[in-house]
Amino acid sequence: MVDESVAKQLVQVIIDNLPEPVPGRRPVHTIGMGVKGKFVASDVARTYCIAEHFNGQPVEVSMRFSNGMGGLKQHDGWSDVRGMAVRFHLSDGTASDLIATTLGEFFVRNVEDFFEFSKVAKLQPYQRRHWLLKILDYLQLKVPPRNPNPNETESIDAGVLGYADRHRFSQLGIFQVGQIGAPESYARASYHAVHTFWVTAPDGVRRPVRFSWQPVAGVRNIDAEDVSRDKYLFNELEDRLKRWPARFMLMMTIGEEGDALDDPTKPWPGTRLRVAMGTLTLIEVAKNQDEDGERISFNPNRLAPGIEPSDDPILKARLGAYEVSREMRGGCPFKWRQDNAHTK
Amino acid sequence: MPIQSDERPIDRWVDGLPKTSFFEFVAARILVPFWAWWTPVKPLPGGPHPSFQRGDNVQCMMNLVMPLKDKSPVGRTLAALAIAQNKDAIYAGLNNVGTVHFARFVIVNDNICMFSVYDGDFTNYIRDFIATIGSVFNAVVGLVEDGEKVIPCEQNVEAFIQWVHERDLYQVPDTATDFLRDQEALNGDEAVSPVNDDLTLLPRKLILQLRANANVSLGNGYRAYPGFSAAQVRERLGLGW
Amino acid sequence: MTDFADVQGNILRGYRMPRVRYLILEVADRFAARRWLAASTNGNGYGVPQITPGHWGANKPDTCFNIGLTYEGLRALGTPDASLEMFPNEFIEGMNARALKLGDVGRSAPETWPAPFDEPKRIHLIVSIYATEISQLDDVQQRALGDGTAWRLLGTREGCSFEDDIVHFGYRDNIMQPRFDGVHDPLRHADGQPMAPLGTVLLGHKTNLEGLMWRVPEPKVLGHNGTFNAFRVLRQDVVGFEKYLDQAASYLLTHKQVDEVMPPGDEVRICKVLSITPASRHAALRELVAANLCGRWRDGTPLALSADMPDPDVDQAKFDYDHNSRCPYGAHIRRCNPRGGQIVQRVANNSRRLVRRGVPYGPRLSGTQPGDGSGAEPERGLLGNFIGASLGAQFEAMSCDWLNLGLQDPRITGSNDPITGTNDPDTSWFDLPLKSGDTIRLRSLPEFVSTRGGAYTFLPSLSAIRYLGSL
């Protein structure tokens, strides 16, 4: 378990880098919405994992979709990572959480890297690149830095790029963030849980796996040039779910000997075994957004028996960091397992 | 799209510049050749990236592009006939090598191409083929540019395998950063951190690489059921292997 | 008719001498080295030791002396570029560069190899000296190094056979080698397999693959009747192996199908044949697991002939794999040489055979009990030579597709060789076949063998050695 003071430092470092304070709210993924749904596992899920939500019986699910940026200003249309946190409610009142984002890889390997990153990736004044310099970029066959979004005066882009230029392990995550765009709908993006977990099968065999949610309706982003739409995702999803349910497939990739199990910056190749673990159906936007969209609190280490965290240092650090953040903002605590597994 | 407060007409014009045919002309005729001369890149080798892991060693992609000697409808017909007349031999060979999932010959412009999905090591796969359908290879490769120096393939096994490898397309990795790592590896650069890279050069590096490797396979390819060999699929489906 | 006196010894027929020493040498002076090579074939009884040929007439020599050259070595001697280009790619790249194909990863990776194998470009000549006594090895070494003008000694490796052909891990080895067309080897028993064409092991002759000939580097005198060798220093975790047998036997004892694996009472006979006292079910199950991992009981009885217990009366060489054989598909000897058994690459039966000349190094583990952990275990393993006319088609093809990937049989694809494979206890598995056709899956096999060095060498004929000496 990461030292509590380290967890506090992690949260503080994120808070310090906000354009303005957000008391009582999450320091990142501040803007979000709660949604209710149901998950039904596939026929084969139970042969890979004994966790209750994979046994085939329908399971109630509470979710929160969110925009990655911290801060109270909502800019749905800006290029940004989206989050999908899912809580599978188990029969004994406990739950198993799965937290995923549209970014498939993280950009730092461990807590030390993260602290260094935060020092470098600070908010700096950001303005449009001069047109002469842009022409110079084109002559060098380079793509100039993006134009600022409407009313965007500060950005961490320059610092982040500087960090990527110095550390190759971070380049993939940072590059993906640069390209990520804005989805048409929360239900039309792929979300990845990034970290490796170990699942136990009924015969006792343990396998290292990574989870991803694939939208049945397909991935679709809005036009990259269009950065003017600030608030559309909430209404879009509400309208969508009134017309018909939205669905996601849960895909589980099984890692092999030699794969980077504990390194969240390294993706697994498409040549790994891929199991379809089940279907998630979004039924309706939660009626009580304060409780189910804001104060609800997830933790990637809250796992049903049958699923265990790997030794991924970022996953471990999130255990403490999420609890600290929850306390600071007055989020609702949720039951941990009786045996308190994975909380130590 | 609404105009932003600090955007002037010149900014707009410059933003749109790369899409103009004027710029495309300048880029193709002047900029690219200049940078290719100033910062040269070596062609990257073809075939799947070497890997020890088993998932990476089944369902490997081969994308073979061979320019025909006779670049005319007659030449293409000869190539088509060389395959059609040897269909039995090809099928018998593929069945008995046992490690091929899919294979097809395609004629694109003046090239005869072979795209296949196979298991295991590339050289073993080609070598076993030389042993079973060497005559077909001789017939086809005889029609290809520079082919005569490696046929008959049974007498030039190692040279033939090398020749095929040189015409197997480079597989651009699924992620742009892995592509950068490929370029670095070719130059012996295995550093991870700290380094002194410039990510803004990625577009130029990609452009120059696609000049050195004119034909490439994009990405590792999609597989519906990754991780299984051809024999495993047949066995589980009860088809005998 | 091939002149076997022109081929180096220990290729077509083994020496059967108990001790071996390898000298790993770098060219110190090109011209002196060439003179040394010429001298090694000139028939003098003093000075540079003479290369032992494949056919020594009436009198077997007391010591045997042979050489292998790496690509860098051929280059250092000044072999013309036109000839160098004709050598196969894998030989030119060298064993260190072929790590991914051979499974030399993790603890076996070339980056971890001790000197002199960590500087592959300096390894030019590997000399092998076979003898009965250490003093003879020292003597020949001294004569070979002479005044030090020709070669620089980078390192040595030494091995010594145990009695009865037992090797580390406790198996009886040296039972099988390919039998060659036209070669009379009184030590080899009929194995029921087709005779291997000479091209399996000598360049310039017909190979097992119909119509295919490997490229013979030119001029002909250089390449003809030469062959290639994969020299490997393989460390064996003998203590770990015995511990695993304990673990697996304990697991089987509690398994619900244990009586099917070993009918009650069989353990008495098994322990008696293998001289294990006191006889116990656990000890017999250990031997059964050892037998299944290898494909032979530790006394040499092939599982294909006698799967229930070791049988001293059975012909250890003559058998094949058919649908009745209860040798696991993934067993080591079956992976290395599937004989006539059904494999995916049907054309490849008997095409990847190798001549194996290996001698153990390191002290034998006393008893079969794991070490008490009181001190570091001495390094033990095998100094192996895997000889074939094409490294790519034989040694590498077998290592990559058959040992590491198990592609030859869909029932083992995705698992590594249980004995030599780079196994990770988290993901490794091995299926033990039962009479009924069921299998019991053993898991958590650790890596027992790791590579501690090696090189690809060319074993030139005596004419080729003279040619190199006259460059």
Compute the average pLDDT of residues C128-155.
93
Residue B154 to residue C215, Cβ atoms within 8 A = no
- Contacts of C74 by beta carbon, 8 Å cutoff, 6+ apart: C83, C84, C87, C458, C468
Q: How many domains does chain B have?
A: 1
pLDDT per residue, tens digit, chain B (241 aa), is 455 667 788 888 998 898 999 999 999 999 999 999 999 999 999 999 999 999 999 999 999 999 999 999 999 999 999 999 999 999 988 998 899 999 999 999 999 999 999 999 999 989 998 988 899 999 999 999 999 999 899 999 999 999 999 999 999 999 989 999 999 999 988 888 889 999 999 999 999 999 999 999 998 889 999 999 999 999 999 999 8
Q: What pLDDT sits at residue C189?
A: 67
Q: What three-state secondary structure class fits B55? A: helix
By Cβ distance, the residue of B51, B162, B234 closest to C89 is: B162
Q: What is the token pair recorded at A172?
A: 């993939």
B70 in a structural domain: yes
- For residue C392, the SS3 value is helix
Q: State which residues form the domain around B95.
A: 54-169
Is residue C399 within 8 A of residue C406, CB to CB? The reply is no
Contacts with A127 from chain B: Cβ below 8 Å? 6
For residue B220, the model assigns a pLDDT of 85
Chain C residues with CB within 8 Å of chain A CB: 105, 422, 424, 426-428, 443
Task: Name all chains with 3 or more CB-CB pairs below 8 Å to chain C.
Answer: A, B
Positive or negative, the Cα torsion across B215, B218, B219, B220? negative
Q: What's the pLDDT at B204?
A: 93
Tokens of A275: 């199991």
Determine whether C457 is exposed, middle or buried from the number of CB atoms within 10 Å of its CB (0-12, 13-18, 19+).
buried
Residue B154 located in a structural domain: yes
∠ CA A172-A177-A178, nearest 5°, is: 100
Q: Least CA distance to C206: which residue of chain B?
A: B155
At B68-115, the pLDDT tens digits run: 999 999 999 999 999 999 999 999 889 988 999 999 999 999 999 999
- How much is the pLDDT for C428? 93
Q: Are B128 and B116 in contact (CB under 8 A)?
A: no
pLDDT the model gives residue C55: 83
Q: To which H or E segment does residue B126 belong?
A: helix B122-141
Residues of B in contact with A166 (CB under 8 A): 193-197
What are the chain C neighbours of A258 within 8 Å (beta carbons)?
A: 105, 424
Is B104 contained in some domain?
A: yes
CATH number at residue B156: 3.30.70.100
Look at residue A122 in the predicted model and tell me its pLDDT. 87
Query: Of A253, A259, A258, A257, which Cα lies nearest the Cα of A272?
Result: A253
**Residue C128: per-residue pLDDT:** 95
Place of tokens 């000890």: C283
What number of other Cβ atoms are within 10 A of residue C464's Cβ?
26
Beta strand B216-218 with B170-172 is parallel
d(CA A310, CA A318): 13
Consecutive H or E run containing A137: helix A131-139
User: Which residues on chain A are in Cβ contact (under 8 Å) with B11?
Assistant: 128, 131
Q: Is residue B209 part of a domain?
A: no
Q: Domains of chain A (ranges plus CATH)?
A: 4-103+183-343 (2.40.180.10), 110-179 (no CATH)
Give the position of tokens 């064409």: C197
Q: Tell if the CB–CB gap between A267 and B175 is shorter than 8 Å.
A: yes
B213 lies in some domain:
no
Concatenate the DSSP letters of all residues of A97-111 into one string: EEEEES-SS-S-SSH
Q: Is residue B80 part of a domain?
A: yes
Contact B241 C214 (CB under 8 A): no
ipTM: 0.90
Radius of gyration in angstroms for the set of CA atoms belonging to chain B, rounded to a whole number: 22
Which chain B residue has its CA at the smallest distance from A166's CA? B195
Residue found under tokens 């903002």 = A329
pLDDT for res C367:
58
> With 80 as the cut, is the pLDDT of residue C457 above it?
yes
Those residues of chain A whose CB sits closer than 8 Å to some CB in chain B are 127-128, 131, 134-135, 137-143, 145, 147-148, 150, 161, 164-169, 171-172, 174-176, 225-226, 228, 254, 256-259, 267, 269-274
Q: Given B181, B199, B204, which is nearest A164 (Cβ)?
A: B199
Q: pLDDT at residue C368 above 60?
A: no
In a domain, B215, yes or no: no
pLDDT values of chain A reduced to their tens digit, one per residue, 344 residues: 457 788 888 888 888 888 788 888 998 899 999 999 999 999 999 999 999 999 999 999 999 999 998 888 899 999 999 999 999 999 999 999 999 999 999 999 999 999 999 899 888 899 899 999 999 999 999 988 888 888 888 888 899 999 999 999 999 999 899 889 999 999 999 999 999 999 999 999 999 999 999 999 999 999 888 878 889 999 999 999 999 889 999 999 999 988 989 999 999 999 999 999 999 999 999 999 999 999 999 999 999 999 999 999 999 999 889 988 998 898 888 888 888 777 75
Q: What is the pLDDT of residue C440?
A: 94
Residue-level pLDDT at A221: 94
Residue C1 is predicted with a pLDDT of 62
Q: For residue range C171-191, list pLDDT tens digits in order.
A: 988 788 888 877 777 666 677
Size of interface A-C (CB pairs under 8 A): 11
> What is the longest distance spanned by two Cα atoms in chain A?
66
> Considering only alpha carbons, which residue of chain B is nearest residue C89?
B158
Instruction: Assess B50–A contact: CB distance below 8 Å, yes or no.
Output: no
B142 domain residue, yes or no:
yes
